[in-house]
Amino acid sequence: MRTIACLFILLLAPALAVPALAVPPGATARFDGGAMGPVTFDGAFHADQGLSCPDCHTGLFEQARTARITLADHEGGRFCSACHDGTRAFAAIGNCDRCHARPGGQPAAVPGKKWNATCLRCHGGSPQVAAISRTKHGVGADARTPDCTDCHGPSADHVTSQGATGPDRLFDPRAATPVTARNEACLACHKGGARMHWSSGAHATRDVACTACHQVHAEHDKVRERVTQADVCFRCHKEQRAMLLRPSHHPIREGKVVCSDCHNPHGSITPRMLARDTVNDTCYTCHMEKRGPFVRTHQPVQEDCSICHNPHGSVNANLLRLRPPWLCQQCHEPTSHRGAPGSNTLTGSHANTLARGCPNCHTNIHGTNNPSDLGTERSLRR
């Protein structure tokens, strides 16, 4: 039946006033014109085949994760307007302004939003207000989009006094509005999920406001972009900034890792607001080869990676807190060959030359699958 239905649509398409529609999986499109009467195009066919929009419309998604799609791209017939040209679908040019403001323009006029008749009378020309219209907080056609009063309060005195009195809630760090009142405005919408433990997190207990990190009115929120996120965190965490300048460090400065890859700034049930349940689980998200299980395990490795490594940076190779053998001798007493001077004889208890580096022989210190042997069952060698 599906094949017959698709064949019917293909035969019917030439009779329609527009070409056949490409309907996204899980959606339907209804065409009311044509000599055959109303026709409904069902996207279930694409879903059954395991297809998604980028599988066919590859050109529309060529900039994903690499660059920003500009308004000039749309007006030049690329991306959305490549299909939304007024013939195959409603025209993108001239219709985007219904919900999104042009750069430097005012928020779109949307029925039911108080900013139309009240706030924009005075603040419509403010660049700061124009910027929020190009964020998720300014898409008026979305029912979830907050109004100005949802964040700043009803502010009746502010309106009647024509600005002589400030709004009920201000987010400037110099304002008298308590931090808890500012955060309540954000938590009214942004709650649950990754923010479930905000109230018990270190940022909340130290009276850190959401706007201390986030720029709500900015088109590009620095803390949400991987390139600039660390700079926001380093405003307070200056010790971590210094650690990342050391020779051995996680590639945060290189843009490959960001703070939120390991930490949940909105709170966590773990120490240090880790993104995973334990230190090891957090490290294993990248260093899977260290997870094991191994036949011979190294107990500190199974307990906590930070016993040996400083994740933010170190002057020693491989983020080690100390150089071998001093790092190893914190647990392994300096007896036998572990404390003897280095030697080139390679015999007896002096076979630990080359700067007495334990990993010279014990190469698999995270664990090994060597078979059991009386002499090397705990040596963690290859």
Is the confidence at residue 111, as pLDDT, over 90?
no
Residue 36 has pLDDT above 60, yes or no: no
* Least confident piece of the model among 32-36, 118-122, 143-147: 32-36
Mean of the per-residue pLDDT values of the chain: 77
Separation CA 237–CA 231 (nearest Å): 10
Rounded to whole angstroms, how far apart are CA atoms 364 and 244? 27
User: DSSP class of residue 233?
Assistant: H
User: How far is CA 3 from its chain centroid?
Assistant: 42
Domain containing 9 equals: 2-51
Task: Please tell me the predicted confidence (pLDDT) of residue 135.
Answer: 84
41 occurs within a structural domain: yes
User: Is residue 43 situated within a structural domain?
Assistant: yes
Q: Where are the alpha helices (DSSP H) in the chain?
A: 2-12, 44-48, 53-56, 71-75, 80-83, 120-123, 127-132, 148-152, 156-160, 179-187, 202-205, 229-233, 238-243, 279-284, 299-303
The residue ranking higher by pLDDT, 134 or 342, is 134
Strand residue runs (E) in the chain: 28-31, 39-42
Contact 267, 201 (CB under 8 A): yes
What total number of domains does the chain contain? Answer: 1
| Residue 44 placed within a domain | yes
Whole-angstrom Cα distance, residue 253 to residue 282?
Answer: 20
Closest CA to 23 of 61, 58, 57: 57
Question: Of residues 362 and 5, which shows the higher confidence score?
Answer: 362
Q: What are phi and psi of 31, to 5 degrees?
A: -115, 120
Asked whether residue 166 is assigned to any structural domain, the reply reads no
> What does the pLDDT look like over 183-220, one tens digit per residue?
999 999 998 888 999 988 999 999 999 999 999 988 88
| Percent of the chain scoring above 90 in pLDDT | 28
Domain annotation covers residue 34:
yes
Candidate ranges 2-11, 102-111, 351-360, 363-372; pick with highest mean pLDDT: 363-372
- Average pLDDT rounded to a whole number, residues 103-111: 54
> What residue type is 216 in one-letter code?
V
Which residues does residue 29 pair with via DSSP β-bridges, in sequence order? 41
- Dihedral of CA 315/319/321/326: which sign? negative
The pLDDT of residue 63: 46
Residues 6+ apart with CB under 8 A from 168: 152, 153, 154, 155, 157, 158
The answer as to whether 172 is a domain residue is no
Q: Look at residue 120 and tell me if it is in a domain.
A: no
Q: What is the three-class DSSP state of 253? A: coil
Residue 167 has pLDDT above 70, yes or no: yes
Question: Which pLDDT score, from 0 to 100, does residue 239 have?
Answer: 94
The verdict on residue 12 lying in a domain is yes
CA distances from 374 to 119, 171, 360, 361, 365 (A): 80, 67, 20, 17, 18
